[in-house]
Amino acid sequence: MFNLILFGPPGAGKGTQAIKIAEKFGWKHVSTGDILRAEVSQGTPLGLKVKSVMEAGHLVSDELLIEIMESVFVKNNAVNGFVLDGFPRTLKQAQELDGMLHKLGHAVTMVLALEVNEEELVKRLLKRAQEQGRLDDTEDVVKNRLVQYHHHTKPLIDYYKEKKLYQEVYGVGSIEDIFSQLCSVIKT
Ligand code: B4P
């Protein structure tokens, strides 16, 4: 089973590229951001719990994310690959993911990071705010999401570099060009 983590700061294009990769390789796309947003819009108990956290641009607790991912793996035990988009985002989540996959007899296959400068990230997210009105795309919240990324998520680069799983692709340019670069480094 191919377990690809698509990694990068908010706005790097993870969601955009994850959908295309999952379609091309026939893998299951799992976006923890999408899962959480669906809970919020349906007003479930989980959604009510995480709404204000997400709107402030903070990370949802590791415990909740781990619970969500455990159920994703249970429900999708017949797939031949995963594209994980937005998970893991903390060291604790990364360690728990290793444990979950290990129990299933699997492991992370590769971590592909989209490298995008901060000016471009802010530009993209503010554009999306105008187009889609996502509540966590306002200027202050975007800044906070970037702070959270630097503080909690960026350290995962070293974690995966040590495991020799980490690879970077330049994430500025056309969506199609970036997609073909990503595909060229995915060796199935
Ligand atoms: P996510 O939904 O994962 O939000 P994100 O990091 O901003 O990534 P997204 O997928 O939206 O951006 P993308 O780069 O695709 O998370 C939202 C929130 O959920 C978090 O802040 C947190 O609160 C919570 N959460 C989720 N997972 C969590 C976890 N594991 N632990 C704790 N909390 C968690 O796209 C950005 C924009 O750029 C789009 O408009 C796109 O069209 C555009 N774009 C893409 N590629 C482009 C290109 N090449 N050129 C120009 N624009 C491009």
Q: Could you tell me the domains of the chain?
A: 2-179 (3.40.50.300)
Place of tokens 């980490």: 166
Residue 154, phi then psi, degrees to nearest 5? -55, -35
pLDDT value of position 111: 98
Biggest alpha carbon distance in the chain? Answer: 44
Q: What is the DSSP letter of 149?
A: I
Closest CA to 170 of 12, 5, 11: 12
Residue 126 near residue 139, CB atoms below 8 Å: yes
Q: What is the pLDDT of residue 188?
A: 85
Nearest alpha carbon to residue 185 among 174, 169, 164, 161: 169
- Looking at residue 26, what is its pLDDT? 97
- Spatial CB neighbours of 173, under 8 Å, sequence gap ≥ 6: none
4 in Cβ contact with 84 (< 8 Å): yes
> How far, CA to CA in Å, does 110 sit from each of 21, 106, 161, 171?
13, 12, 10, 17
pLDDT in tens, the chain (188 residues): 999 999 999 999 999 999 999 999 999 999 999 999 999 999 999 999 999 999 999 999 999 999 999 999 999 988 999 999 999 999 999 999 999 999 999 999 999 999 999 999 999 999 999 999 888 999 999 999 999 999 999 999 999 999 999 999 999 999 999 999 999 999 88
Q: How confident is the model over 105-153, as pLDDT tens digits?
A: 999 999 999 999 999 999 999 999 999 988 899 999 999 999 999 999 9
Separation of CA 7 and ligand 1 centre (Å): 10
pLDDT for 34: 97
Ligand 1 site residues, Cβ closer than 6 angstroms:
10-16, 32-33, 36, 53-54, 57-60, 65, 86-87, 89, 93, 124, 128, 136, 145, 175, 178
Catalytic residues: 14, 89, 128, 134, 145
Query: From ligand 1's centre to the CA of 154, what distance in Å?
Result: 15
For residue 61, give the DSSP letter.
P
Counting from 1 in the atom list of ligand 1, the atom nearest the Cα of 53 is 23
Rounded Cα gap, residues 27 and 47, in angstroms: 26
Distance, C-alpha 54 to centroid of its chain: 14
Output the pLDDT for position 134: 87
Give the closest residue (by CA) to ligand 1 atom 17.
33
